[in-house]
Amino acid sequence: MKSIIIGIAGGTASGKTTVTQKITENFKSNYVTVIRHDDYYKDQSHIPFEERLTANYDHPFSLDNELLYKHLSILLQGESIQKPIYDFTIHTRSKKTELVVPTNIIILEGILIFDDLKLRELMDIKIYVDTDDDIRFIRRLLRDTNERERSIESVVTQYINTVKPMHNQFVEPSKRYADLIIPEGGNNRVAIDIIVSKIKHIISTKNV
């Protein structure tokens, strides 16, 4: 079995996860592995909790791309990995890891995955999900307050001070590396159908 890697990037709360779900619905569950860049935030257990709250999580330096590249390379070689799990309630890695086995399709999802040349070179298809800034902010506010136990004030402050400027500096410019830009995310049925057809074609070609 030869795996292919699909990169799905886009701004925070742009709909990357929805696009991922729409794609995976077209394949058997054991054919697809989803890896989120968020789980590769660097470990901060050695830093006091108060300092973790002020860290810039939207800068490329906050992510352990070396470990991610190593893990993807291992999966491409047909071997399993122990993927880190990031705990957003304590702003550092969990002590638990997750066993990930190689599959036909590996979907790599994250806002900054196109910023790294080595990661881009591993991808067979690069997709950028393009969503209006206001919609993304509202989605992030709801997600972080409901799922990550954040206060409204902390979400707004972080968005103004780091999320938006980092988006403009790193995320938005990385759109130029995409093979396909999807407006409206997972609601764009035509784009999803095109992507699924291309994935099936690449798989058939690689496994001849």
Q: What is the pLDDT of residue 208?
A: 45
- What is the residue-wise DSSP string for 132-165? -HHHHHHHHHHHHHHHS---HHHHHHHIIIIIHH
Pick 34 or 53 by higher pLDDT. 34
The model's confidence at residue 1, banded by pLDDT at 50, 70 and 90, is low
Pick 18 or 53 by higher pLDDT. 18
Q: C-alpha dihedral over 1, 123, 165, 145, to 10 degrees?
A: -20
Q: Which residues contact 168 (CB under 8 A, 6 or more apart)?
A: none
- Ordered by start, the domain boundaries in the chain are 4-206
CB 174 within 8 A of CB 123: no
CB 80 within 8 A of CB 101: yes
Q: What is the pLDDT of residue 6?
A: 97
Burial tier of 35 (Cβ tally within 10 Å: 0-12, 13-18, 19+): buried
* 43 CA to centre of own chain: 17
Partners of residue 180 on adjacent β-strands: 127
pLDDT in tens, 13-51: 999 999 999 999 999 989 999 999 999 999 998 998 888
> How many of the other CB atoms lie within 10 Å of CB of 21?
13
pLDDT in tens, 137-195: 999 999 989 987 789 998 999 899 999 999 999 999 999 999 999 987 778 889 999 99
CATH topology of domain 4-206: Rossmann fold (3.40.50)
What average pLDDT does range 52-62 have in this prediction? 89
Distance CA 173, CA 206 (A): 31
Distance CA 202, CA 188 (A): 22
Kindly give the pairing relationship between strand 105-109 and strand 81-87.
unpaired
**Residue 90, CA distances (Å) to 62, 150, 158 in order:** 15, 11, 16
pLDDT in tens, 92-145: 999 999 999 999 999 999 999 999 999 999 999 999 999 999 999 999 999 989
pLDDT in tens, 69-84: 999 999 999 999 999 9
**Residue 5 pLDDT > 80, yes or no?**
yes
First to last CA, the chain: 10
